[in-house]
Amino acid sequence: MRLPTKLARPIANLLEQLTHTGDAVYAVDAHECIILWNQAASSLLGYTSAEVLGKHCYEVIQAKDCDGNKVCQKHCSHMEHAKRYRWQSHQNFLACSKSGENVLVDVTTLSILSPQRELSALVHIFRQADPNAPAPQSSLQPASPNGPMAGHRNVPASTFPLSAREMAVLLLMAEGLSPKEIAAQLFISPVTVRNHRQNILRKLDVHTRLEAILWAIRRRD
């Protein structure tokens, strides 16, 4: 795996951490070039990271929806919506493997924003889907570019064991912000941020920040 040196260190660190999962993960930059491709993605679709890094995602994935309509293309809807702070819910599509086989995958998309609220990377976390399971209903969730709860506004409170402030901290953690940066954005002290982090891990019964972030991504839909 190779990450571009031009990425800010917190964002590069977060992307690197997101590869530590059994699910397939790839990420693209704002120019739709693949900048991250983990081992699980190689196992599922057959491409090694060396074969795809730097290529446009739509040239590799060539995804179609279940009706045969092209999903992956230049200026795709996922990228354009993310640039407008509109978060895409998870969905199924057919990805093209290296062998040419269509693989039905369930995809969750995560936007990684810079501290200046600019789109730094678009991350796709995906796994092979059950063809007999009901297809998820795609939807968009508009959000304020300055709102830490962006993308979670219509999720019932009972879905999350976290308080609103803990959820805000978790989402900022997912964007790669340091405790000091989170404290400045939420107008709280770094010590309070660290306390919230410990409470988040305890409530979610996880041990690392990555596990907490992935929990939030999967529960979002």
Q: Beta 24-28 vs 119-128: how paired, if at all? A: antiparallel
42/103 same-domain check: yes
Q: In this structure, is residue 163 part of a structural domain? A: yes
How many domains does one find in the chain?
Answer: 2
| Domain carrying residue 67 | 9-142
User: At residue 133, does pLDDT exceed 80?
Assistant: no
Angle of CA points 107, 70, 72, to nearest 5°: 55
Q: Which helix (H) or strand (E) covers residue 210, if one does?
A: helix 209-220
Q: In this structure, is residue 2 part of a structural domain? A: no
37: left (phi > 0), else alpha (psi -120 to 50), else beta? Answer: beta
Instruction: Write out pLDDT tens, residues 64-120.
Output: 887 677 888 888 878 888 888 777 777 888 999 999 999 999 998 888 888 788 888
Domain boundary residue, one of 85, 117, 142: 142
117/30 same-domain check: yes
**Domain with 203 in it: what CATH number?**
1.10.10.10
Instruction: Write out pLDDT tens, residues 168-195.
Output: 888 888 777 888 888 888 878 888 889 9
111/215 same-domain check: no
Q: Is the CA virtual torsion 210, 87, 183, 114 positive or negative? A: positive
Q: In this structure, is residue 147 part of a structural domain? A: no
Which residue blocks in the chain are alpha helix, DSSP H?
9-17, 39-45, 49-52, 57-60, 77-83, 164-174, 179-186, 190-204, 209-220
Instruction: Write out pLDDT tens, residues 3-52.
Output: 655 777 778 888 888 888 889 999 999 899 999 999 999 999 999 999 99
Task: Tell me which residue has tokens 């409530």.
Answer: 203
- Cα separation, 197 vs 121, in Å, equals 24
Check residues 38 and 206 and name the one with the higher pLDDT.
38
Q: Beta 91-96 vs 34-37: how paired, if at all? A: unpaired
59/161 same-domain check: no
At what angle are helices 164-174 and 179-186 packed, to 10 degrees?
Answer: 130
